[in-house]
Amino acid sequence: MRTIYLNNAFSSYPKTPNLYDNIFKYFTILESNRNFIEYIDEIKSMIEETRNLLCRLVNNKNSSNVIFTSNSTLAINMILKGILNKKDHVIVSSIENDVIMKPINSMIYSGLDISKIPCNESGQLDTTIIPKLINRHTKAIILSHVSNISGTILPLEEIGQICDKYNLFFIVDASQSIGTVEIDNEKLHADAIIFSGNKYLLGPEGIGGFIASDKLISNMSSISTINSQNYSNYMESINNNLELGTLNYMGIYGLNLALKFLLNIGIANIKLKTDELTSLFIKEVLNIGGLKIIGNKNIEDRSCIISLKLDSIKPIEIHEKLLGDGIYTGVGLFCNSSYNKLINTFPTGLLRLSFNYFNTLEDIIFTIDKLNTIIRNIS
């Protein structure tokens, strides 16, 4: 049976070509032909190259401020708990995902204050409201670049200018955008760009992190003063206070391979490909009764993530029937209870489809045909 994977906002599939085979080959050769010192030196060189590749991807100058973690959730928690104190004030969107909101909500009990930028059902916000929310205790604006439900792309350049004007930290969760939407930090002026290696970066699971400004690094509390990766100073670096324990070398090497693949193609070309797929899907879905697309229909203002609200049908039913046809989608709340409550899909959730560079127009046409048939038969 034909298999079509459309759940890349959860984790990408397929990955960068031959990813796991190349990871295995690299470490097999490395460990068989090196003494310990040579092994560590090669690993250190590979890690620094990966930091540089990430900076190339987002046009960020300082590769020494790339911090690796096991995932983006840990990165977010490290940043927020590293810079925020009692009586600080932060600004988020009204539909921010739970990964950001959980650590913030936990700090409210300790005196943290929060304001929310109102968003409409498409996930859009009015940047002119933001200055009105800022007060003398405001420390940071924390936002997702792309909504994991609507796929809406926020106007980060405008928000970055506001943060510059009021000397605020600008924290951007780019987990759903990096690798599929162009990011230029020379224009955004973000103090942290948070990434997840296993989504649109097409890398392995278990690797994430953030790209930080000097200002953020100097203001973050040290995670550890003793780092177990410091083998007789072979792995000494300024990152040691924030990178706790031995890093995931295999994950970083897999990310290294994925970044080279993406940079070779170019993010602009990837966006053109996924825009074509997304445009076709939106056009065809609008002809199917009983379905509502959440988010902007304008392709320039959205990514390749599409969520569908279903009339009188539970999304899990459609998900299971599509799965029976070999089509893998996402279903549920997607760790975003606020957005689901706004659009009245809580607690049943939504059906989500998210494309990547390896999907084809034929995949979209086949999926639309099956979706149309399922809806017609249920109705």
pTM of the model: 0.94
CATH of range 4-15+267-377; options 3.30.300.30, 3.90.1150.10, 3.90.79.10, 3.40.50.2300: 3.90.1150.10
Range 220-244 average pLDDT: 56
**Domain map (residue ranges) of the chain:** 4-15+267-377, 19-228+241-265
User: Does position 40 have pLDDT exceeding 90, yes or no?
Assistant: no
Dihedral over Cα of 271, 277, 283, 289: its sign: negative
- 174-203 pLDDT, tens digit per residue, is 999 999 999 999 999 999 999 999 999 999
CA distance 340 to 194: 23
Q: What is the rounded average pLDDT of the residues 235-249?
A: 74
**What per-residue confidence (pLDDT) applies to 33?**
72
Question: Are residues 174 and 193 in contact, defined by beta-carbon separation less than 8 angstroms?
Answer: yes
**Would the CATH topology of 4-15+267-377 be identical to that of 19-228+241-265?**
no
* SS3 annotation, the chain: CCCEECECCCCCCCCCCCHHHHHHHHHHHHHHCCCHHHHHHHHHHHHHHHHHHHHHHHCCCCHHHEEEECCHHHHHHHHHHHHCCCCCEEEEECCCCHHHHHHHHHHHCCCCEEEEECECCCCCECHHHHHHHCCCCEEEEEEECECCCCCEECCHHHHHHHHHHHCCEEEEECCCCECCECCCHHHHCCCEEEEECCCCCCCCCCCEEEEECHHHHHHCCCCCCCCCCCCCCCCCCHHHHCCCCCCCHHHHHHHHHHHHHHHHHCHHHHHHHHHHHHHHHHHHHCCCCCEEEECCCCHHHECCEEEEEECCCCHHHHHHHHHHCCEECEEECCCCHHHHHHCCCCCCCEEEEECCCCCCHHHHHHHHHHHHHHHHHHC
Cα separation values, 169 from 199, 212, 244, Å: 25, 11, 23
Give me the residue label for tokens 């029976």.
324
Sheet holding 113-117, edge to edge: 66-69, 208-212, 192-196, 169-173, 138-144, 89-93, 113-117
Half-sphere exposure of 178 (CA within 13 A, CB side): 32
Confidence of residue 226 (pLDDT cuts 50, 70, 90): very low
The chain-wide mean pLDDT, for the chain, equals 93
CB 348 within 8 A of CB 309: no
User: Which structure tokens are listed for 255?
Assistant: 């990310």
Q: Is the pLDDT of residue 375 over 60?
A: yes
Predicted confidence at residue 214, as pLDDT, reads 94
Query: 240 falls in which pLDDT band (50, 70, 90)?
Result: low
Tell me the HSE value of 324 on the side-chain side, using a 13 A CA sphere.
10
- Segment 213-225 mean pLDDT: 77
Total Cβ atoms within 10 A of residue 134: 17
Mean of pLDDT values over 114-130: 98
Across the range 47-53, mean pLDDT stands at: 98
Weakest mean pLDDT among 156-160, 194-198, 288-292, 361-365: 288-292
**What CATH class has 19-228+241-265?**
alpha beta
**The pLDDT value given to residue 234:** 42
- Closest of 293, 306, 281 to residue 148, by C-alpha: 306
Please determine, for residue 231, whether its predicted confidence score (pLDDT) is greater than 60. no
Kindly indicate the confidence band of residue 222, based on its pLDDT and cuts at 50, 70 and 90.
Answer: low
In this prediction, residue 232 carries a pLDDT of: 42
Cα gap 21→216, rounded to integer Å: 37
Span 209-231, average pLDDT:
72
Question: What does the block give as tokens for 191?
Answer: 């103090």
231-241: average pLDDT: 52
CB–CB of 197/251 below 8 Å? yes
